[in-house]
Every structure is written in structure tokens, then in C-alpha cells.
Amino acid sequence: MQKRFVERGHECSAAVREDLGEALTTWFHERFPSYKISLLLDRQSSRVFAAYAELNPALGLGWLRRAVESASPEELLAFDAETDGSGFWRGRRQVVWLCDHLAQFPDHFWQCEAILFRLGLHETEEKTSNNSRGVWQRFFRPVFSWTAIPFEERIRHLVRMIGGAEVGVQPMVMGAALEAIKEPSGKTIPPKVVGGRLAPEEWRPKTHQDIRRARAEAASSIIDAVKRLPADRVEVPRTTIIENLGIFLSLGCLEQLRNWLSPTELDEDTLRWLRIKIDSHLDFLRLRATGSDWLDVHPTDSQRTKASAALVGVEAWRDSLKPEGLESRIREVTGRERWEHEGSFEKDREEQTAAIYEHLAAEVVKSPEVMDGLREWFDSDKARSAFELGSALAPKGLRHM
């Protein structure tokens, strides 16, 4: 009944809603007397709270933020969204929906962002895409963010977070960074009327060119932020960028990446993984530049031209990263799965890949002593295709492996 009474207030005029929200403050503090997130655990209490918070967002979100930020990790993990036996969800789900809806309003966005960030660090709805972490990360998209806060302002905030995030927080923050630069896609749309108020239109660039420009500028800012990180906090963000290298390269970050991700700055394992990701992107570009009847890929003339132009710079970067010395090349080849070698889209890729191991085996036969320094390598799980090199060496009579 309390929930229904408050929701009737949503239907009143703005002046009446404001008066009602003020008149119910005493009741609110009696109903939620302390800043304890556990008070919202059950479905009934959380739905009553959400109804009032939509009526009086300043008080409701202020209480919720204080409760969330003062809660221990254990308390936040106990604040779940399980069903209560009626087929509906308990407190966390109601709170996530509440913040998702109110974040459309500029006056309430940053409160909602802070609440969902804290909840997202202690996520309990891992199988739900629009959980607290997912909604928080969505806030940083250039479009389909469903907030009226300008993208540039949100990116500045995200860049500051990248700079200050501890290692355990970095995966969540870098997930938001990827949302800012990926090809945008829309999911669940929040309601246009929240607590009786018409939500403003979301901020978004006017044209497709503007969207791409916004993504490119965000990508550049993210790289700069990661470059400035100290050595003890750079690994996770840098790995995220390398894992998603194709997105950054497609947004025009080649020179920025090339100047940063240089052989003098990277350990061998990271450098090897970087080569793998560059080769994967080169495969993509070559496929777009030439097309393939075998794979039924038929790019337009514009796509062919664009891909051909991009190939020049990326191939030059890849050439500058070639491993030096036979020992390094052995680790380079066997550090990949067989299918990870370049040319994977070619019809005769099996022959090309076999040739890589055959040529390397021929070099090893000429300098068998090189294998003495690789015993630890081949005993590790990093030598992912040692079997292929061994198979190529077997007919040549080399037994060092």
C-alpha cells in the first residue's frame, strides 16, 4: 500500500510531487532509519524505496549512495537479486533499475554512476547483462548511453578513473573504456517517464561521422591515460588495449600505439602477444582489401581502398617488431597455436602454416645448439605449438626436444 500511495504521487503535477516528497521525509527516515543497504534487501522494501526515490531523487539517491559506499564488500555481496519465491527479484535488481532510470536526468547522473560503480565492484548478477556493472559501463558509450550528460564530460571522468584505479578495479574500468570506443549498439531502453517526470533525450553526436570522431578521440585519450600509468599498474589496461588492438587501429591510433608499444618498452611475452594481435588485424585488412570467394567476402570498392591504405602502416609496424635471433623466432612461432599464424583466411592456409614450421626446423637443424637454451621454454605451457615444430624436426633426425 505504501508503494501504491507513493506512485499515485508520481501522477500529480510537479508542484504537488515536490510537496508530497517533502511531506513524506519523516516517514522515509522512519522507514529507512539507518544507512544500511540490508534495509533494501527484500523485494517489498526495495520497491517502496525505489518508488519514493523516483518521487524525491535528491533524498533517495543521497541515502542510497551513502548506504552503498559505507557498506563492506561482504554486505554488498549479500545484497543480491535472487527471486523471493514469487517469481520476482529482491533488492539489488530494484536498485539497479532505479539508478538506470534516474541516470537519464543530468541532475542525478553522477549519483547513479557512483552507486552502480560501487555495486559493480561487488557484482552478484554475473549472468545478467544489465547488471550494475553492465549498466555502469554502458554510461560511457557515445550513443545508447541513455543519459543527457555530454560524452566528452563522461570520458574525462573515465580517464581520471583509469589514472587512479587500483589493479583490482582496472578490469571494470577498462570494460567501460571499451564501451566508449566499440561500434555502438543499443540494448534495453529505460522508461521515458520516471517518477512522473519526462526524461530528457540522451546526448548523442548528430552524424555517423561525429560518432566516429567521438570514438576516435576517446580511444586516443584512453591510450594516453594508460601510457601515464606507473609500471606496477599498467599491465591490465595495456593488455586490454592489446587484446582489442583492432578497434584502436581502426580508429586511427596507429602512430600513437607504435610509439608506445615498442620492443624496448615491452617484455618478450607481451611483445609476442602484440604480434599475434597485429597479425590478426592484418588478416582482417587483407581480407577487406582483396575479398574472398572462398569465404564469401565481397567488400565494396571503398572498403577495399580503405583497407589497402591501412595495410601499409600496420605492415610497417609489424615489420619493426620482428623477433631477432633464432631463439627468439622459435619462441615466436611455438608461442602461438597453429591457427594463430598469419594468413589464416587463405584457402591454402594449412600449407602456408606447415611451411612456417618446416622452414624453422631447417634452421634449427643447422644450429641445433640453440635448443639447449630453450629447455625451460618447452617445459612451460607457453610453448603452445611445440608439437608442430617437433613433428617438423622428427624427419630431420633432431632429438634435442
Extract the residue ranges of the chain whose pLDDT is less than 70: 85-87, 187, 342-348, 396-401
User: Pick from 33, 156, 54, 67: which is nearest to 108 by CA?
Assistant: 54
Question: What pLDDT does residue 351 have?
Answer: 80
Bridge partner list, 193: 198
**What pLDDT, on a 0 to 100 scale, did the predictor assign at position 8?**
85
Q: Looking at residue 87, what is its pLDDT?
A: 58
Q: Is 248 exposed, middle or buried (0-12, 13-18, 19+ CB in 10 A)?
A: buried
CA distances from 308 to 120, 201, 278 (A): 42, 39, 15
Distance CA 253, CA 256 (A): 5
pLDDT tens-digit readout, 230-272: 999 999 999 999 999 999 999 999 999 999 999 998 999 999 9
> What's the confidence (pLDDT) of residue 346?
60
The answer to whether the CB of 143 falls within 8 A of the CB of 204 is yes
Encode pLDDT of 116-159 as tens digits: 999 999 999 998 889 999 999 999 999 999 999 999 999 999 99
Q: Which set of grid coordinates corresponds to residue 179?
A: 564501451
Contacts 24+ apart (CB under 8 A), 124-131: 124/77, 124/79, 124/80, 124/81, 124/92, 125/80, 125/81, 125/92, 125/93, 125/96, 128/81, 129/187, 130/96, 130/100, 130/187, 130/188, 131/96
Q: Where are the domains of the chain?
A: 264-322, 344-401
CA angle 76, 81, 83 (to 5 degrees): 145
Q: Which of 169, 106, 109, 170 is nearest to 138 (CA)?
A: 109
- CA-CA distance, 116 to 91, in Å (whole number)? 13
Do the beta carbons of residue 174 and residue 237 sit within 8 Å? yes
Q: What are phi and psi of 335, to 5 degrees?
A: -80, 0
Task: Supply the pTM of this predicted model.
Answer: 0.90
- What's the chain look like in SS3? CHHHHHHHHHCCCHHHHHHHHHHCHHHHHHHCCCCCHHHHCCHHHHHHHHHHHHHCHHHHHHHHHHHHHHCCHHHHHHCCCCECCCCCECHHHHHHHHHHHHCCCHHHHHHHHHHHHHHHCCCCCCCCCCCHHHHHHHCCCCCCCCCCCCHHHHHHHHHHHHHHCCCCCHHHHHHHHHHHHCCCCCCCCCCCEECCEECCCCCCCCCHHHHHHHHHHHHHHHHHHHHCCCHHHCHHHHHHHHHCHHHHHHCCCHHHHHHHCCCCCCCHHHHHHHHHHHHHHHHHHHHHHHCECCCCECCCHHHHHHHHHHHHHHHHHHHCCCCCCHHHHHHHHHCCCHHHCCCCCCCCHHHHHHHHHHHHHHHHHHCHHHHHHHHHHHHCCCCCCHHHHHHHHHHHCCCCC
Residue 341 near residue 356, CB atoms below 8 Å: yes
> In the Cβ-directed half-sphere of 375, how many Cα atoms lie within 13 Å?
5
